[in-house]
């Protein structure tokens, strides 16, 4: 056996471990978002329940490893080398795609990515075989299991609409039954409701999680399937009794039990069924390697070996499953990207709209909101007034004093888990393929819509988010097929060098994604604490840092303009835009949420805080106007400023360069004893701007540079003067804010 195949097998093992990590980071949102959003328990408890479910799912892993071996392509049509390259192409593509989606914080389907990658790589390898082996079949359909591929992909995408609709309908009736003030109704029907939810979850866990298990006796599973109705009834009676005892005797909220049970059941099914998406390819490659080794040892020619043996039933060593489970649990506990994906789903489904929306708006979302409002209005006009009043009373949201800050309540969390569990169970019983990601995400979106979580102010952003995620799913399929096809082509035609090239490309992309995520993670923000002086003083330090950055860009812009350096101006424009965007993000992520959650006692501080940030933003916007107008002038190849204009502008730039550090020192120290001196300096500076404008107006109108230069020059002076004034306003507001906090002794 050639050493290259041992290297490929080693690479596949490493990629499988990494795939487990990125796969769990993405799919963790499927079974954790409902529990996290409703705060059913502490994070440690939730992750503990999910970890137990994952380990059990791995131990009871179903016999779905065949998907990677024969679900998409016909292994008997491929040789050993072809199969190994095909598998390597799939794994390289898979880790890149999943890591990319995790870095962006978007959920995607590991099932869709695997199926499409197998399809793309199989097509590439089949075309290579057809072109280089005259004896091989020249019909592409002989190499691809087209019927099974079409069935899987169609079933997966059809589940999107079904899951959304079911989640929306069930949630609407559930909220009508309980209302947002569900505790009153829960006293009477809570135990029954939880028993129904837990029975559905039990049915799901048993039927979906254990079916086809390699460790559970098949006769026992067959017996259970034959008596599933009676088993379900017994489960309902048991759960009803237990929930009643918990609720009425021990005063325990059984809704939390339902949410925790659903979380564990979904985690179990995820590990048991989606494990193939992460290690199935490696396991198939390992079996292929040992088949080839035995074939060579028996004197066979490796070039003539076809891999029809992959059609045989799979028997997986339990130690491999246990090892995969340990990796998945570690990834679940320690992955920051898992929390990012969970945060995306929770934010899209949350009731409140405090803080920045995760997504912007788009034309389809705006149109959907507009026409939905018209339809709702038409329905409201034909609905009898008593019915409308009753429904409205059931959907009346909680007042601010009643809101506990959760993204959504336990009623919606239990509906999310129950509906998702039932849909997945139903599809399994009908032998229909689907994606747990698609089902759980779309159920959550449907319940949030029915729950009126998408208010008029947030609906367009939430719908945009859903469209982005769904679009990402489709792009996953298209990108997976294309990327796997290209990767397999390069490796098949390039041989060893082609393999080395694609491995290097994958490593580069993964490192780049990690750096991008780490840089983004550094800029995470939180609410501003207005309760102590130290936190307010930090605002002054941050303002001083921004003024230093603004001054650096301003002076660089003046120098580049006088030198007519277009590239330098373009760079300054990029930096100025980044400052404006960062300040706008601070406004949306920190300032506005702080104002919405403000203690009435801190109302004076809040209004000064808002003015302070607006002044800072105005300074940055003045700078952006200066940089953009300078860049546009040079980019259009207009003549630069004349000598007199350049001299005056450079002089003013130097004076601004001395004034801004004085303001920065005041902001950093928090001592404004020298403010009067700085104010006098600012007044003198304003007078000098006026003198520069007067000198320009008195110059010869035929002076070189003409009207365009004059417009640019006057605009720069005016924006610079405005920038200085706004910076001084920032100083006064920071002083005024700090004065509200007594100096510690």
pLDDT band at 525 (very low <50, low <70, confident <90, very high): very low
Choose the weakest-confidence range: 27-31, 193-197, 437-441.
Answer: 27-31
Q: What is the pLDDT of residues 272-308, one digit of tens each?
A: 767 767 888 888 899 899 999 888 888 888 888 888 8
Give the C-alpha separation, 173 to 443, whole Å: 15
**For position 546, what pLDDT does the model report?**
87
Phi, psi angle pair for 530, to nearest 5°: -95, 15
Give the C-alpha separation, 340 to 664, whole Å: 36
**For position 260, what pLDDT does the model report?**
92
**For position 669, what pLDDT does the model report?**
82
Give the C-alpha separation, 272 to 109, whole Å: 15
**For position 576, what pLDDT does the model report?**
92
**For position 210, what pLDDT does the model report?**
60
**For position 380, what pLDDT does the model report?**
85
Q: Is pLDDT above 80 for 397?
A: yes
Give the C-alpha separation, 87 to 78, whole Å: 12
**For position 524, what pLDDT does the model report?**
44
Helix (H/G/I), strand (E/B), else coil: 298? coil
**For position 359, what pLDDT does the model report?**
66
DSSP 144: B
Q: Is pLDDT above 60 for 209?
A: no
| Range list of H helices, 587-636 | 592-596, 603-635
Helix (H/G/I), strand (E/B), else coil: 73? strand
DSSP 12: H
Q: Is pLDDT above 50 for 526?
A: no
DSSP 212: T
**For position 737, what pLDDT does the model report?**
82
Query: Percent of the chain scored above 70 by pLDDT?
Result: 87
Q: What is the pLDDT of residues 425-452, one digit of tens each?
A: 777 666 565 677 778 888 988 898 898 8
Give the C-alpha separation, 245 to 248, whole Å: 5
Which tokens in the block code for residue 692? Answer: 């520069």
Give the C-alpha separation, 407 to 437, whole Å: 20
Q: Is pLDDT above 90 for 491?
A: yes
Q: What is the pLDDT of residues 648-692, one digit of tens each?
A: 888 888 888 888 888 888 888 877 777 777 777 666 677 777 778
**For position 326, what pLDDT does the model report?**
87
**For position 68, what pLDDT does the model report?**
72
Q: What is the mean pLDDT of residues 68-79?
A: 84
Query: Percent of the chain scored above 90 by pLDDT?
Result: 21
Query: In this structure, is the dihedral angle defined by the CA atoms of residues 144, 150, 153 and 155, taken in order, positive or negative?
Result: negative
pLDDT band at 482 (very low <50, low <70, confident <90, very high): very high
pLDDT band at 486 (very low <50, low <70, confident <90, very high): very high
CA dihedral 414, 109, 518, 44 (to 10 degrees): 30
Q: Is pLDDT above 80 for 495?
A: yes
**For position 522, what pLDDT does the model report?**
45
**For position 108, what pLDDT does the model report?**
74
**For position 627, what pLDDT does the model report?**
93
**For position 520, what pLDDT does the model report?**
56
Q: Is pLDDT above 60 for 208?
A: no
Q: What is the pLDDT of residues 339-390, one digit of tens each?
A: 777 776 676 677 655 455 656 677 888 888 888 888 888 988 899 999 999 9
- Identify the CA nearest to 625 among candidates 550, 708, 693, 685: 550
pLDDT band at 318 (very low <50, low <70, confident <90, very high): confident
Q: Is pLDDT above 60 for 242?
A: yes
pLDDT band at 167 (very low <50, low <70, confident <90, very high): very high
Higher pLDDT, 12 or 108: 12
Arithmetic mean of pLDDT over the chain:
82
Q: What is the mean pLDDT of residues 601-613?
A: 81
Q: Is the distance from CB of 53 to CB of 264 less than 8 angstroms?
A: yes
Set out the domains of the chain in order of their start, with CATH numbers: 3-396+405-521 (no CATH), 533-739 (1.20.58.220)
The β-bridge partners of 79 are 306
Q: Is pLDDT above 60 for 646?
A: yes
Q: Is the distance from CB of 463 to CB of 474 less than 8 angstroms?
A: no
Angle 7-93-31 from CA coordinates, rounded to 5°: 115
Choose the weakest-confidence range: 231-245, 404-418, 510-524.
Answer: 510-524
**For position 105, what pLDDT does the model report?**
67
Q: What is the pLDDT of residues 717-727, one digit of tens each?
A: 888 888 888 88
pLDDT band at 462 (very low <50, low <70, confident <90, very high): confident
Helix (H/G/I), strand (E/B), else coil: 89? helix
Give burial (CB, 10 Å; 0-12/13-18/19+) of 655: middle
Instruction: Measure CA of the first residue to CA of the last residue in the chain; give whole Å.
Output: 79
pLDDT band at 92 (very low <50, low <70, confident <90, very high): very high
Q: What is the mean pLDDT of residues 482-511?
A: 91
């Amino acid at each position: 056996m050639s050493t290259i195949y041992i290297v490929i097998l080693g690479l596949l093992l490493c990629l499988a471990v990494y795939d487990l990590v990125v796969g769990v980071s993405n799919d963790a949102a499927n079974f954790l978002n409902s529990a996290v959003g409703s705060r059913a328990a502490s994070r440690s408890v939730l992750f503990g329940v999910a970890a137990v479910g994952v380990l059990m799912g791995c131990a009871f892993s179903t016999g779905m490893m065949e998907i990677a071996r024969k679900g998409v392509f016909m292994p008997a049509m491929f040789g050993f080398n072809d199969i190994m390259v095909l598998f390597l192409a799939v794994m390289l593509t898979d880790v890149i795609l999943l890591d990319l989606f995790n870095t962006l914080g978007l959920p995607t389907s590991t099932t869709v990515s695997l199926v499409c990658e197998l399809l793309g790589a199989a097509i590439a390898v089949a075309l290579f075989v057809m072109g280089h082996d005259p004896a091989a079949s020249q019909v592409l359909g002989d190499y691809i299991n087209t019927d099974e591929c079409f069935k899987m992909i169609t079933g997966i995408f059809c589940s999107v609409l079904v899951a959304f609709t079911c989640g929306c309908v069930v949630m609407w009736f559930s909220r009508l039954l309980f209302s947002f003030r569900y505790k009153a109704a829960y006293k009477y029907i809570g135990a029954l409701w939880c028993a129904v939810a837990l029975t559905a979850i039990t049915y799901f866990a048993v039927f979906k999680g254990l079916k086809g298990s390699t460790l559970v006796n098949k006769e026992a599973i067959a017996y259970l399937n034959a008596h599933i109705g009676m088993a379900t009834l017994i489960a309902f009676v048991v759960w009803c009794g237990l929930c009643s005892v918990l609720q009425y005797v021990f005063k325990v909220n059984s809704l939390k039990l339902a949410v925790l049970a659903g979380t564990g059941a979904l985690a179990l099914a995820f590990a048991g069924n989606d494990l193939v998406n992460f290690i199935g390819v490696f396991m198939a490659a390992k079996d292929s390697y040992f088949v080839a080794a035995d074939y060579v040892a028996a004197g066979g020619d490796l070039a003539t070996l076809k891999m029809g043996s992959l059609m045989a039933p799979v028997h997986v060593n339990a130690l491999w499953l246990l090892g995969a489970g340990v990796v998945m649990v570690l990834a679940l506990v320690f992955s920051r990207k898992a929390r990012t994906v969970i945060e995306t789903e929770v934010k899209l489904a949350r009731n409140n709209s405090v803080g920045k929306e995760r997504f912007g708006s788009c034309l389809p979302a705006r149109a959907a909101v507009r026409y939905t409002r018209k339809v709702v209005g038409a329905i409201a006009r034909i609905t009898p007034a008593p019915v409308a009043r009753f429904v409205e009373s059931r959907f009346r949201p909680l007042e601010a004093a009643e809101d506990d800050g959760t993204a959504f309540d336990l009623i919606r969390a239990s509906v999310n888990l129950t509906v998702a569990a039932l849909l997945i169970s139903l599809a399994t019983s009908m032998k229909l393929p689907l994606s747990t990601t698609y089902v759980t995400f779309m159920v959550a979106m449907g319940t949030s819509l029915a729950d009126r979580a998408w208010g008029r102010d947030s609906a367009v952003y939430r719908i945009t988010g859903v469209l982005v995620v769904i679009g990402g799913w489709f792009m996953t399929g298209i990108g997976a097929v294309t990327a796997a096809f290209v990767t397999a082509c390069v490796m098949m035609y390039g041989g060893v060098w082609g393999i080395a090239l694609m491995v290097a490309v994958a490593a580069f992309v993964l490192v780049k994604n990690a750096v991008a995520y780490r840089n983004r993670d550094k800029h995470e923000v939180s609410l501003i604490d207005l309760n102590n002086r130290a936190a307010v003083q930090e605002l002054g330090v941050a303002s001083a840092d921004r003024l230093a950055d603004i001054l650096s860009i301003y002076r660089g812009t003046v120098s580049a303009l006088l030198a007519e350096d277009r590239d330098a101006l373009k760079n300054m424009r990029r930096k100025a835009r980044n400052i404006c965007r960062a300040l706008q993000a601070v406004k949306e992520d920190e300032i506005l949420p702080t104002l919405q959650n403000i203690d009435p006692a801190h109302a004076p501080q809040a209004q000064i805080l808002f003015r302070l940030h607006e002044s800072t933003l105005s300074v940055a916007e003045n700078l952006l106007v200066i940089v953009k107008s300078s860049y546009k002038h040079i980019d259009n190849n207009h003549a630069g400023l004349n000598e007199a204009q350049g001299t005056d502008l450079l002089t003013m730039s130097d004076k601004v360069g001395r004034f801004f550090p004085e303001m920065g020192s005041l902001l950093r120290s928090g001592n404004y004893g020298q403010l009067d001196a700085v104010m006098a300096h600012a007044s003198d500076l304003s007078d000098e701007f006026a003198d520069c404008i007067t000198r320009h107006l008195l110059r010869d109108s035929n002076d070189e540079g003409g009207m365009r230069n004059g417009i640019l020059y006057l605009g720069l002076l005016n924006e610079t003067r405005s920038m200085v004034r706004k910076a001084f306003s920032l100083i006064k507001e920071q002083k005024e804010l700090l004065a509200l906090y007594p100096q510690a002794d």
